Structure 1
Amino acid sequence: MRIENGGVMNIRNSGSRLKAKSLLQRFSSVVFGSVFLLIGSLSYASDTHQVMPGDTLWDISEYYYGTPDEWPTLQQVNAIADPFKLQPDTMVELNALDPFPLSVLYRSGDAWLVEESGENLLKSGDLIEVGSVIQTGPGSSLTVQMRDGARAVVPSNSRIVLKREGERGITFQLEQGEVESYVPKNRMRRRAYNIETTAGVLGVRGTHFRASYAGEALLTSVYEGNVAAQHRVNTAEASIDEGEGARVDREGGIQVVPLLPPPEGVAINSLSNESIQVDISSPIQGQTFRAQIASDPNFLTIIRDQLSQSSQIQFDPLPPGFYHLRIAAIDELGIEGESAIFVIHHHGDQVSVKQEEDAWIFEWFHKAQTNYRLQLAADHEFTQVLLNYEPQNNGPLRISRLPGNEIFWRVVSLDERTNMTVVLDTGTLRSL
C-alpha cells in the first residue's frame, strides 16, 4: 500500500484509537458505566459515525464491523475522495452495509410489488423493503440494487420473496423463475447473500452467478467467485467454483458439472424490418441456446430475452442503435453455460433518401463482402432502367439532374459468398 502522506497506518491499533479518541471524547461528560453501555449500542445500532480528527475509514470499518475490509463500501456510499483525510464533524453513513431497502434501477415490461391490497407496478427509483414479494411478467426484466452495492436482475416469469438473513444479510426466496446476481468483491462474507428454494440453498461467496428454480430443481451457473450449495432434505453440500454449474434436485443429491463453453461461429444481421437475426454456425445437436440483448455492457438493462432450440434466433424489431448481445448454450441438465458477448450496431437495412436542392442523397449500411447497386427506373417493375450504378465507396451517394417526372429507385445487394441478389430497399422519388 502506498500512502501519499509518507506514513504507514497501524491498522491493528486503529480500532482502539477510534474508541479512545472518537467515542470517549464525544461523550466525556457521561459517567463510565453509561459510556460503556453507549459504546455497546453504537457499535451495533448507530446509523452514522461523527468523524473526529485523525479518523480514517479503516478505523471506522474495524470498530463497527469488526474488520477494516469494509472501507471501500463506506467510501463509495459516502462519496469520500480520500479515505485517509476525513473532515472532522462530518457524518459517515453506516447502514449502507445493510442491503435493505432495495431500489429499482431498471424495469422492462411488467414487474410488480405484490401486496395484500393487490399488485403495484414497480418503476425506476422505487424502494423495496424486507419481506416484499416481487413478480415479473412474460418478456419482462427487473434490476434492483441493494444498499451494500450488490445488484440482481430478475428475468420474466419470476417470483421472489425478499428476506433478511442474520443482522445484515439477505435471502432471495426463489419461488419461481430466476435471479442473476452481481455481488461486490469487497462484500463481507459474514453478511449473508443466499438463494433459497424448496430444493436447496445457495450460499454466495462469489460475485457473478445465476440461479433458477423450475421443475422442482435448483440450477446455478457460477461465472465468477464461488457458491456453496446445500440440499434441503439430506443436507448434502457442494462447492461450485467459477466455470462450474450445479443442479440440486428435491429428492436427489447435488450434481456439479463444468459449464459449456461460449458458442462459436456467431453471425449477427440487422434485417429490413428492424429485427435482429443471430445465426450460430457450429451448434451441437439438440442444444438449447439463450440469447439476450441489453442496452448496457453489464446486462443490467435487458430488453430482449429468448430461448431457442434452433441455431437461428430472431428478435422482435428494435430501434436502430448500439446494443449488447450475449449467447449461451444450455446443457442437458438445464444449466446455462458461458456466454459469447458482442456489441451490435443495429442499423436495419433501410436506405436513407433525402433531397438537397437539385440532388438526391442515398445512404445505407454497407456489409463486408457485399456489392451494391443503385437502380433508377421509369416504372415500378424496373423494365426501363435509367441508372444501374455500383458505388465505389461506402459514403453517401449523390444523384442530380434527374427527370422531373416520377422516378422509381431500389438498392440491390449481391452477396459474393452465396451469389444471391436481393432487394435491400425500394421507393419513389418525388420532387418537393
Structure 2
Amino acid sequence: MSKRIFFLRNAILILLFSLPLQAADWVYTVVEGDNLWDFSAKHLDSVMRFEQLRKLNNIKNPKRLQPGSWLRVPMKWIRSNAVPARIGLLEGKVRIIRADGSAENSLKSGVLIHLGDTLNTGQNSSASVIFADNSSLTLYSDTEMRFDHLSAYGETGMVDSRVHLGQGRMETKVKPTAGPGSRFEIHTPSAITAVRGTAYRAAISPNGDSSSIEVLEGDVVVSGAEQQTLVSAGFGTQVALGKAPTEPRKLLPSPGLHELPEPLRALEWQLNWQSLDGANSYRAEISSSADFDVLQWEAVVQEPQVKLPDLADGDYWFRVRGIDEVGLEGNSAVQSLLLDRHPQPPTSLSPADGEMLDFGGVELKWQQISKVRGYLLEVAADQAFEEIVFKQETDDKTQFEVTELKQPGRYFWRVSAIAEDGEVGPSGAVRSWRLRADMESPNVIVTATEAHVVSNWQPLNSNYRYHVQLAHDADFKQLEFDQIISANEQTFDHIYSQLRYIRVCAVDEDDYHGPWSSVQKVDPLLGKSVWIVPISAIMGLLFL
C-alpha cells in the first residue's frame, strides 16, 4: 500500500469515526408485518412522528410496508433512554462509588452500574463490565473508571457508552457498530479513544501524565491535544498531557511458549517462554477463563520466566507478552494450564540430605500437614523413582522406620500427603541418604630397598580410593605425607636415622573414610656417623 493510499484511508476512517451523530440517519430494513404507526410507537420519541416519517420516506400506504424496503430515520427522532451496564465477573476487592457518593463493597456478578457511578479495583483484583450491546471491558489491578454516559436508542440496538479511565489498566472488546448512533469512547486524562468494533488495551502511567493505547483487533481513533491518529491492529501509541498522539508503533510479537505437562503437579514449577528481541520486561497473567475476563494472578518480570503461584487445583489459562522500551505491551501468547497440586506435600526433616547412615533401621521424619488423612512414603534406588524399593501408606504420624533395606548404597525418598477424600497430592522434594558399607581396613605391608620405602596393600573395592598418612610420630601429629590416592601402593624416599610411621584407610565414592589400618613402622637407614663410635671402640681394643 502506497503512502498516499495509506494516508487517504486513515483520513476517511477518522472522518467516519468523528462524524456528529445528528448528521446521520438510521436506516431500518422493513420486515413482514411492519407499519409506520407501530414503528413510531416502538422506536421514536413520539408516535406523532408518524406523518413526518411517511413524508420523509415518500410512503403511499403507511399501513402496509414492503418487506425488504428501507426506512430513513433522523437520529434526533429516535427515542433515547438510559441503560445501565453490569458487572460480569470479579476477583478480589472491587467496589462501586455511586453517583450520590455512597459506596458498595460487597459486590457480585450482575450488579448494575448506572450513569455517574465509579468502579474501583484493589490490588491483585479485577472486574469485567458488560454494556447494553454486550460490548465488554476488563479493569485490572488498582484501576478506577467513571461511567459518564450510558444510553441506548430504544430497541434499535444502537448504544452510546462513554467512560473515563482515571487510573490503571483495562482491556476492551467492543461489538461492531449497529448504526450511526452507536458510540464507544474511553477518555483518559490525556486522550480519547473512539472505536466501532475492536479489541484494544489502554493504560495510564503511574504518575497520570500519559496514556498508552495498544490495538489488538480493528482500528481505533486516538485523540490528544485536538489532533487525531488512526491506530490499526498490531500497533500502539502513547499520548502525553497536552500533546498529540505519537506515531503508531508496531507491537512486539507474541513470545513462544514451552510445552507443559498435563496435569501440572510440581509446586515450584517455573513457566518459561522464548526471549523477545526488544522486550525490556514481560507481563504474565493467569485466568480461569480463556477470555481473560478477570485474572487470578499477574506479574511483571524482567526475565522470560516466572514461578507458578500457589493456586487452587483446576483449569486455567496462562498468557504472556513483551513490554518494549517505551512501555507498550505487545501481542500475547496463550497456553492452557491444568493444575493438580494439592494437598501440598510435607517438608522432609531428617535424615539430612545425603547423610551417611549405618546399617539398621532408618527413621524418616517429615513435617505435619493439617487436614490430611495420612501420607505416602516412597523410597527408590534412583532419583527418578523408576526403581522403587519401598512404598508405604501411613497414618497421620510424621515418622516411619524403614528396616527392610540391607544393600549398601544411596537411597532416595519422598513423601506425599493424602487428603481426607483419598486423593494423593504431588510428591515433596526428593532427598537421599547413604547406607554405609561395612568397610574393612587395608593390610599394609612395608618393604625397603636401597633407594626407597614401598608400602602396598590388597585393593578392597574397585570404587575405593585410599587415604595414606606418613608421620614422624606414632600419634600422626607430625605429618610428612597426607594424601588420598587411587593406587594401592605408595613409595617414599629413605630418611637416614629417622623412625617413621604409616597408616592407610579406604575411602568410598561418597568420601566416607573406613577404619585405619594398623600402624606400621618405617625403619630408617643408618647414617655414616652412627658407625664412628663402634669402629673407634674396636680400634682402641686392637691397640691395647
When the two structures are superposed, what TM-score results if normalisation uses the length of structure 2? 0.51
Deviation of 1:282 after TM superposition, in Å, equals 2.2
Deviation of 1:378 after TM superposition, in Å, equals 4.9
> 2:350 is matched with which residue?
none
Cα distance in structure 2, aligned partners of 1:298 and 1:207: 15
Cα distance in structure 1, aligned partners of 2:115 and 2:217: 27
Cα distance in structure 2, aligned partners of 1:13 and 1:103: 30
Gaps of 5+ in 2: 1-26, 54-62, 153-158, 347-359, 366-377, 403-411, 416-426, 432-544
% identical aligned pairs = 20
Q: Does 1:340 align with 2:343?
A: no
> 1:169 is matched with which residue?
160
Residue 156 of structure 1 is aligned with which of 126, 130, 141?
Answer: 141
Structure index of larger Rg: 2
Contact 1:328–1:337 at 8 Å: present in 2 too? yes
Deviation of 1:114 after TM superposition, in Å, equals 1.3
> 2:128 is matched with which residue?
143
The structure-2 alpha-carbon separation of the partners of 1:399 and 1:53, relative to structure 1 and needing over 3 Å to count, comes to farther
The structure-2 alpha-carbon separation of the partners of 1:54 and 1:124, relative to structure 1 and needing over 3 Å to count, comes to farther
> 2:231 is matched with which residue?
240
Deviation of 1:103 after TM superposition, in Å, equals 1.3
Q: How does 1:210-221 map to 2 (within 5 A)?
A: 210-214=201-205, 215=207, 216-221=209-214
Residue 322 of structure 1 is aligned with which of 311, 315, 329?
Answer: 315
Deviation of 1:199 after TM superposition, in Å, equals 0.8
The structure-2 alpha-carbon separation of the partners of 1:199 and 1:386, relative to structure 1 and needing over 3 Å to count, comes to closer
Contact 1:181–1:209 at 8 Å: present in 2 too? yes
> 1:121 is matched with which residue?
106
Amino acid at match of 2:214: S
SS of residue in 2 equivalent to 1:36: helix
Contact 1:349–1:425 at 8 Å: present in 2 too? no
Amino acid at match of 1:110: K
> 1:359 is matched with which residue?
none
Contact 2:186–2:192 at 8 Å: present in 1 too? yes
Cα distance in structure 2, aligned partners of 1:386 and 1:392: 10
Amino acid at match of 2:94: A
Contact 2:252–2:279 at 8 Å: present in 1 too? no
Amino acid at match of 1:146: F
The structure-2 alpha-carbon separation of the partners of 1:40 and 1:293, relative to structure 1 and needing over 3 Å to count, comes to farther
Cα distance in structure 1, aligned partners of 2:66 and 2:131: 27
Q: Does 1:185 align with 2:168?
A: no
Cα distance in structure 1, aligned partners of 2:48 and 2:394: 95
Amino acid at match of 1:36: M
Residue 310 of structure 1 is aligned with which of 303, 307, 311?
Answer: 303
Count residues in correspondence. 329
> 1:261 is matched with which residue?
253
Contact 1:99–1:170 at 8 Å: present in 2 too? no
Amino acid at match of 1:410: W
> 2:482 is matched with which residue?
none
Contact 1:18–1:63 at 8 Å: present in 2 too? no
The one-character-per-residue Cα deviations of 1:31-90 (angstroms, maximum 9, x if unpaired) are xxx96346889xxxxxxxxxx99999x88x968898xxxxxxxxxxxxxxxxxxxxxxxx
SS of residue in 2 equivalent to 1:105: strand
The one-character-per-residue Cα deviations of 1:166-221 (angstroms, maximum 9, x if unpaired) are 76311120111122111123544631101102211000123211111124111111
Residue 14 of structure 1 is aligned with which of 26, 30, 54?
Answer: 30
SS of residue in 1 equivalent to 2:275: coil
Q: How does 1:346-365 map to 2 (within 5 A)?
A: 346-348=339-341
Deviation of 1:16 after TM superposition, in Å, equals 10
The structure-2 alpha-carbon separation of the partners of 1:62 and 1:130, relative to structure 1 and needing over 3 Å to count, comes to farther
Gaps of 5+ in 1: 1-10, 28-33, 42-51, 67-93, 354-376, 413-422, 428-432
The structure-2 alpha-carbon separation of the partners of 1:286 and 1:193, relative to structure 1 and needing over 3 Å to count, comes to closer
Contact 1:99–1:146 at 8 Å: present in 2 too? no
> 2:220 is matched with which residue?
227
Contact 1:294–1:302 at 8 Å: present in 2 too? yes
> 1:30 is matched with which residue?
none
Contact 1:203–1:227 at 8 Å: present in 2 too? yes
Q: How does 1:77-156 map to 2 (within 5 A)?
A: 100-115=83-98, 116-156=101-141
Deviation of 1:303 after TM superposition, in Å, equals 0.9
Cα distance in structure 1, aligned partners of 2:297 and 2:108: 18
Cα distance in structure 2, aligned partners of 1:291 and 1:118: 32
Contact 1:205–1:228 at 8 Å: present in 2 too? no
The structure-2 alpha-carbon separation of the partners of 1:22 and 1:351, relative to structure 1 and needing over 3 Å to count, comes to closer
Cα distance in structure 2, aligned partners of 1:146 and 1:391: 55
Amino acid at match of 1:126: V
Cα distance in structure 2, aligned partners of 1:350 and 1:227: 47
Cα distance in structure 2, aligned partners of 1:323 and 1:38: 55
When the two structures are superposed, what TM-score results if normalisation uses the length of structure 1? 0.63
The one-character-per-residue Cα deviations of 1:88-121 (angstroms, maximum 9, x if unpaired) are xxxxxx99x9783111111111011014234533
